[in-house]
Amino acid sequence: MPVAKPKARKADVTVVELDGEAVVYDRRAGVLHHLNPGASLVFRGCDGSSTIAEIAADIADAVGEPVERIEPEVRSAIRGLRKADLLEPARR
């Protein structure tokens, strides 16, 4: 089974970052999203070339927390981003 490398959606999406938080406008759906600092970090990390474990490791490094504590939160945030249709569909 291939390892998931989540990728933030770019088409029809505008992201404005302010003080570590982000506001995302999905023009296709006509929906606004407010991402808190943690979700913003995860969203930024979803570059399509990093695995979830790698994204978690990068964030853990940046915030100085153990990766074991960060990774479940990253997975939860990715589930939220996917539910909000802000990630490209997972490749099969």
Angle between helices 37-45 and 67-83 in degrees, nearest 10:
80
User: Is there binding between residue 52 and another protein (CB under 8 A)?
Assistant: no
Q: What whole-number distance in Å separates Cα of residue 20 and Cα of residue 40? A: 7
- Given 21, 54, 71, 88, the residue binding another protein (CB under 8 A): 21
Handedness of CA 21, 80, 89, 71 (dihedral sign): positive
Q: Helices in the chain by DSSP H: which ranges?
A: 37-45, 52-63, 67-83
User: Is there binding between residue 86 and another protein (CB under 8 A)?
Assistant: yes
Binders of another protein in range 58-77 (CB under 8 A): 73-74, 76-77
- Given 6, 9, 35, 56, the residue binding another protein (CB under 8 A): 35
The β-bridge partners of 87 are: 8
User: Is there binding between residue 3 and another protein (CB under 8 A)?
Assistant: no
Q: Which residues bind another protein (CB under 8 A)?
A: 13-14, 16-19, 21-23, 25, 27, 30-36, 38-39, 42, 73-74, 76-77, 80-81, 83-84, 86
